[in-house]
Structure formats: structure tokens, C-alpha cells
Amino acid sequence: MSVSRISSRSRRLNKTQKLSVAGVSTLAAAAVAFSLVPNDASATTEPQAAAAAAPVAYTGSQTQSLKATGLSQNTTAERLAKTADAAKAKEEAAKKKSAAKAEAKAKAVAEAKSKAAAKAKADAKKRSAKKASRAADRKPVYANNLDGWIREALSIMHEKKIPGTYEGLHRNIIRESSGDPRAINNWDINAINGIPSKGLLQVIKPTFDFYHVKGTKHDQYDPVANITAAANYAADKYGSIDNVDSAY
């Protein structure tokens, strides 16, 4: 065998040896790795559980970001609270305004009713005054004679509810005074006693004063005052002047 062949074989052996060594190393590494694998699945999760249980470490930028987020949340909460307060205050103000408006309206309605009532009362008073004025304007004017005196006396007697008729008055007036309002009796017992009978129906002063009708003159010689007083006396004593046919 030559030296060159020996050298070539030596080189091949060396290469084969190297491959063998590499293979052995690989197998050894695989065996080591296999020996490190746990026998059950729980052993596999322990590092994960340990990692999960371990405290999280935040960087400076992460800490600032979290703080900023917290501040932002606080600010948002404050804004929401302020917005809610503002809305509540606005609602209360609206309610107060509405209540004040309703109260003002009710007050205005009451004042309007009061004014309307006052106006109606004033108008009624004016109408009453006008009616009275028209009635006064329509007041009849009686003639200044026996017929006029009797008719005016009858009007007053009717108002005062004193009974009597035109015929009864006229009949007694003619008998007592012949229709002379200034007639006076100076010879009978009344005259002797100092209280002579006077006027159309010849009444004495005490009788005239007691039965005088309000609204007429306080004068025995006044025709209307004399007739109404005498008729009032006759109504009290005889029921009506119509029932008198002689001295009374």
C-alpha cells in the first residue's frame, strides 16, 4: 500500500469520525432535552401560573399613561356630575318660572274678574240713577186745584199703603170745608179748647201731628198734607176715609 492511499483513508476516517461525533452529540442533546420534559401536563402549566402570579412591572411611560387615563376618567365623571347638576338646576328654574307664570296668570284673571264686577256694579248704579232720573222726569204734575190735590194725595196714599178713593176723599172734603184749604172752625169744642179744626178735611193740630205722612209739608193748611194726614187717621179709626160719612 502506498503512502498516498494511507493518507487518503486517514482523511476519510477522520471525516467519518467527525460525523459520528456530531451524531452522538445530537443524540446526547436530545436525550438531555427529553429528560428535562415533565411527566404530566400540570408541570407544563406551573411556569405559566408562576408567570401569571408574578407582579406586573410597568415602565415609566405605561405608569404615566395609566395616571392620565385615571385623571381623564375623574374629569369625565366631574363633567357628568356638573352637567347633571346644571340640568337639575335648569329644570327647577323652569318649574319655578312656570309656577310664577301660573300664579301671575291666576292673579291677572282674579283682578280682571274683580274689575269686571266693579264695572258691572258701577254700570248698574248708573242705570239705577238714570232710571230714577227718568222716573223723576216722568213725575206727574198735578193741577193746583181740588182735583189736583186729591189726585196727588191718592198717589202718596197708594205709595204708603193708606186706603181711600177719590170719591171718599172728595165727598168728605166737600162736607167739611167745601173745598177751601184755608177753612177753619172757630166755634166748636175744639176751638173752645184752643185747637181749632183746619184745612180741607178739618183736622186738629194734635191729630195732624200724630198722623202726618212723611214726605208732605208739615202744615195743616197744605192741601196734600191735610188730606193724607186725615186719610191716615180715618184708616186707623174707621178702616178707610171711604167709611166716613159725618164728623169724625
Domain segments of the chain: what residues?
73-139, 146-243
Which tens digit of pLDDT belongs to each residue from 83-110? 888 888 888 888 888 888 898 889 999 9
Give the Cα separation of 177 and 197 in Å (integer): 10
138: its cell numbers? 216722568
Q: Concatenate the DSSP letters of all residues of 126-158 into one string.
A: HHHHHHHHHHHHTPPPPPSSHHHHHHHHHHHHH
Give the Cα separation of 69 and 61 in Å (integer): 12
Which tens digit of pLDDT belongs to each residue from 168-191? 999 999 999 999 999 999 999 999
Its pTM stands at 0.48
Q: Is 144 exposed, middle or buried (0-12, 13-18, 19+ CB in 10 A)?
A: exposed
